[in-house]
């Protein structure tokens, strides 16, 4: 028996624990294909708004799921047994891809400069940066005296030491106090996104006692460095309060408590350090509250009361407020200003007017300039404005690229940082002089194993939809890859929450593209790739536009000879995993394989469970199936889990994390359990659950690469029908 058969047989034996032993009888000496687990059915009838549905797999949701997120070892035995069997079955089915996975991992690792550092950001007497040493899985947080590249370096935090002995460790945020004497950092040690915040005394090198528990990763020091503010998470993982305490420890005070469990919260300092700012928002409504830095123990003041449908975020610019908002029908947002002492909407004055087709994504302030990032036609540009109102742009004359505004770490400066890359071109980091308009190249991303952008072609297509829209599609391929329909193609999409998909550089994708694949990104509705109205046209009762846009992108790629039906692998994660589930039901004939990462597929059940962290905050995105019968029916009509039916499904890989608070592990588990007996194609339906991670997967940079290599190996395996060759 060779190594592959040994792996396959061993893993299959473990998977078989989910079935009666008699079902696995086989002739002696004959290597049989791995047998998939069969999940038990325990029908549960659910009555809701006069409608009835039956869920056979509700038992997979642990009754004590909140505790499981914080300690995955508490998972109930039958669920753990089933997940273990699913993982074993997938490993057995994909055993033949192990050499490919190993090769791709080494390729991906070889494209990373292991001994690397970020461009230092100057603030006061110091320059702050991160670095990796060879072999590091996690970053080191460093500083050195300003202007002294060869000066004495101080290590603020070694996240490798923090992670030592832990299956998962993720540093969420870091911040130094304005007086540069303290350094705070948040750590998630389970993947549940519930963080612990610690504060380190940089003069003694000691981590102070009295850690902050059950926090979001978001926190801020007061301008006088005496206080720290943070966002608390309740037992269901939702942000519910803003707390304050002395930065070096002491009694905790509630600064603000949010009564609406449908709102997210965050806290930070204004760019000019004059205010602590509390942001409260969901997808369609927001509110800012602020505390003057001179009175850090004061009650927060409402800038402008929340109003359903009105979004705004605020920063302070020396002598006035600067506010980005969609108020007054500014669908793609405008920028207004308001007096420091009278910031209510009645006093708002337009600074940058709304422009159709140009979405204002964000604003960065320094003493004499306002910089904004805009998105139009799935590309970004940066616009600089001085106090006199003169403007100029930073843009790139390419079909598809990404510009990202990094802002500045100091307020009294004329320099801002930005980054540029494209699907074929590694990232360049620039410092830009806002007065002289001169840019200084500070760093070019290195690819140690070698990379020549001229070997690749980046194209931008526009896929027509049935309702007359044009969906941008970014395409990356090697020049040597023919456009005749023969190349396998991976089509990636997301399309929710107004999150755009950047046409950016990824060294990992090259492991497919260099094997003759074409990589395409569909900039579908539901994202803000073509403006905020692009998002608004695919949510709630128009959500299906996201799915039909993705299908239109695939059909256009086929029509233009970039692909052929059945030779495409579809890929998406989280809400993009819902997209995968929907297009898997709607057009299974288009795909050789579907990769659904942490997929939000059990739409009705999830959005009807008010205990889950994201359910109330996301009703504005999807609709409320508890109270709205029309929303229930519409969501039911596309919910991937509920719409599974006998069809010739493609090969499917669903992935998840046991401690994921956003898309809980039981969603992909239930989906796979329902899909496997439904498919009529004979193609495999596989599940991979990371038993030691959450929504983002493994926390170490090399461990994460192994996950990517696994998924890309599945894509190749699906195209080649590897299960037929086992």
Number of residues that this document lists for the chain: 726
Catalytic annotation present for 695: yes
Catalytic: which of 198, 240, 529, 660?
A: 660
Which residue, chain included where needed, has tokens 């509250």? Answer: 289
Asked whether 183 and 173 are in contact (CB, 8 A), the reply is: no
Quote the Cα angle for 215-217-219, to 5°. 85
Phi, psi dihedrals of residue 318, rounded to the nearest 5°: 80, -65
* CA-based radius of gyration for the chain: 26
Rounded-to-5 percentages of helix, strand, coil across the chain: 25, 35, 40
Q: CA 558 to CA 143: how far, in whole Å? A: 51
**Run of H or E residues at 343:** none
666-678 vs 77-93: helix crossing angle, rounded to 10: 60
Catalytic annotation present for 24: no
Asked whether 255 and 300 are in contact (CB, 8 A), the reply is: yes
Asked whether 494 and 411 are in contact (CB, 8 A), the reply is: no
Asked whether 568 and 561 are in contact (CB, 8 A), the reply is: no
SS3 of 24-83: HCCCCCCCCCCCCCCCCCCCEEEEECCEEEEECCHHHCCCCHHHHHHCHHHCCHHHHHHH
615-to-263, 436, 619 alpha-carbon distances in Å = 10, 49, 7
SS3 462: strand
Catalytic annotation present for 660: yes
* Residues whose CB falls within 8 Å of the CB of residue 626, separated by 6 or more in sequence, listed in order: 48, 49, 607, 608, 610
Catalytic: which of 271, 496, 574, 639?
A: 574
Residue 688 bridge partners (DSSP): 655
89-to-83, 227, 675, 689 alpha-carbon distances in Å = 10, 52, 15, 12
SS3 568: strand
Which residue, chain included where needed, has tokens 């460095």? Answer: 225
Q: CA 46 to CA 386: how far, in whole Å? A: 59
Q: CA 144 to CA 164: how far, in whole Å? A: 25
Q: CA 83 to CA 66: how far, in whole Å? A: 18
Catalytic: which of 82, 523, 695, 710?
A: 695
Asked whether 37 and 18 are in contact (CB, 8 A), the reply is: yes
Nearest residue to 301 via CA among 286, 315, 287: 287
Q: Give the chain's end-to-end CA distance (angstroms, integer).
A: 13
Give the helix ranges, DSSP H, for 111-195.
Answer: 159-163
Residue 521 bridge partners (DSSP): 474, 492
Asked whether 502 and 421 are in contact (CB, 8 A), the reply is: no
Give me the active site residues, please: 574, 660, 695
């Amino acid at each position: 028996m060779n190594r592959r058969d040994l792996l396959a047989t061993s893993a299959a034996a473990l998977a078989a624990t989910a079935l009666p032993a008699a079902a696995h009888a086989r002739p002696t000496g004959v290597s049989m294909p791995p047998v998939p687990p069969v999940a038990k059915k325990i029908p549960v009838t659910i009555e809701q708004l006069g409608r009835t549905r039956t869920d056979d797999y509700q038992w997979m949701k642990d009754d004590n799921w909140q505790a499981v997120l914080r300690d995955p070892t508490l998972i109930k035995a039958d669920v753990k047994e089933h997940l273990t069997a699913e993982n074993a079955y997938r490993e057995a089915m994909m055993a033949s891809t192990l050499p490919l996975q190993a090769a791709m991992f080494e390729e991906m690792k070889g494209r990373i400069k292991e001994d690397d550092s970020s461009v230092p950001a100057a603030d006061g007497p110091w320059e702050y940066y991160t670095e990796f040493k060879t072999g590091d899985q996690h970053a080191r947080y460093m500083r050195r005296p300003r202007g002294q590249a060869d000066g004495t370096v101080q290590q603020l935090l070694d996240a490798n030491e923090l992670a030592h002995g832990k299956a998962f460790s993720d540093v969420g945020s870091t911040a130094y106090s304005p007086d540069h004497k303290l350094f705070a950092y948040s750590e998630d040690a389970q993947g549940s996104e519930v963080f612990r915040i610690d504060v380190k005394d940089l003069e003694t090198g000691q981590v102070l006692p009295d850690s902050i528990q059950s926090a979001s990763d978001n926190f801020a020091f007061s301008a006088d460095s005496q206080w720290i503010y943070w966002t608390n998470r309740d037992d269901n993982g939702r942000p519910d309060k803003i707390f304050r305490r002395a930065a070096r420890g002491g009694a905790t005070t509630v600064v603000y408590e949010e009564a609406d469990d449908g709102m997210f919260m965050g806290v930070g300092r204004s760019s000019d350090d004059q205010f602590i700012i509390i942001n409260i928002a969901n997808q369609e409504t927001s509110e800012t509250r602020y505390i003057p830095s001179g009175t850090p123990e004061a009650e927060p003041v409402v800038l402008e009361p929340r109003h359903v449908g009105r979004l705004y975020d605020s920063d302070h610019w020396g002598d006035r407020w600067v506010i980005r908002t969609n108020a007054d029908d500014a669908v793609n947002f405008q920028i207004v200003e308001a007096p420091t002492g009278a910031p209510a909407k009645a006093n708002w004055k337009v600074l940058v007017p709304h422009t159709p087709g140009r979405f204002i994504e964000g604003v960065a302030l320094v003493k004499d300039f306002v910089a904004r990032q805009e998105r139009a036609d799935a590309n970004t540009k940066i616009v600089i404005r001085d106090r006199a109102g003169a403007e100029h742009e930073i843009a790139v004359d390419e079909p598809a690229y990404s510009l990202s505004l990094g802002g500045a770490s100091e307020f009294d400066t004329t320099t801002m940082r930005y980054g540029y890359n494209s699907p074929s071109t590694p990232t360049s980091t620039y410092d830009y002089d806002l007065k002289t308009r001169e840019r200084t190249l500070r760093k070019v991303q290195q690819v140690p194993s070698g990379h020549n952008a001229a070997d690749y072609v980046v194209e931008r297509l526009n896929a027509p939809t049935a309702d007359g829209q044009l969906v941008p599609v970014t395409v990356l391929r090697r020049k040597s890859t023919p456009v005749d329909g023969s190349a396998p193609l991976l089509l990636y999409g997301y399309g929710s929450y107004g999150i755009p998909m950047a046409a950016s550089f990824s060294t990992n994708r090259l492991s497919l593209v260099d094997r003759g694949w074409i990589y395409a990104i569909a900039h579908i509705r539901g994202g803000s790739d073509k403006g905020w109205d692009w998002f608004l046209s695919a949510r709630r009762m128009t959500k299906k536009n996201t799915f039909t846009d993705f299908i239109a992108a695939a059909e256009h790629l086929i029509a233009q000879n970039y692909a052929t039906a059945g030779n495409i692998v579809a890929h998406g994660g989280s809400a993009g995993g819902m997209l995968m589930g929907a297009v898997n039901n709607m057009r299974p004939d288009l795909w050789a394989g579907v990769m659904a990462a942490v997929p939000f597929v059990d739409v009705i059940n999830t959005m009807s469970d008010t205990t889950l962290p994201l359910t109330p905050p996301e009703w504005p995105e999807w609709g409320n199936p508890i109270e709205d019968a029309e929303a229930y029916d519409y969501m039911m009509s596309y919910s991937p889990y509920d719409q599974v039916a006998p069809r010739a499904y493609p090969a499917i890989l669903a992935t998840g994390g046991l401690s994921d608070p956003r898309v809980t592990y039981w969603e992909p588990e239930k989906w796979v359990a329902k899909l496997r007996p439904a498919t009529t194609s004979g193609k495999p339906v596989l599940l991979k659950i990371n038993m030691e991670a959450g929504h983002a997967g493994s926390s170490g940079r090399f461990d994460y690469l192994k996950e990517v290599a696994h998924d890309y190996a599945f894509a190749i395996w699906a195209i080649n029908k590897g299960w037929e060759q086992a």
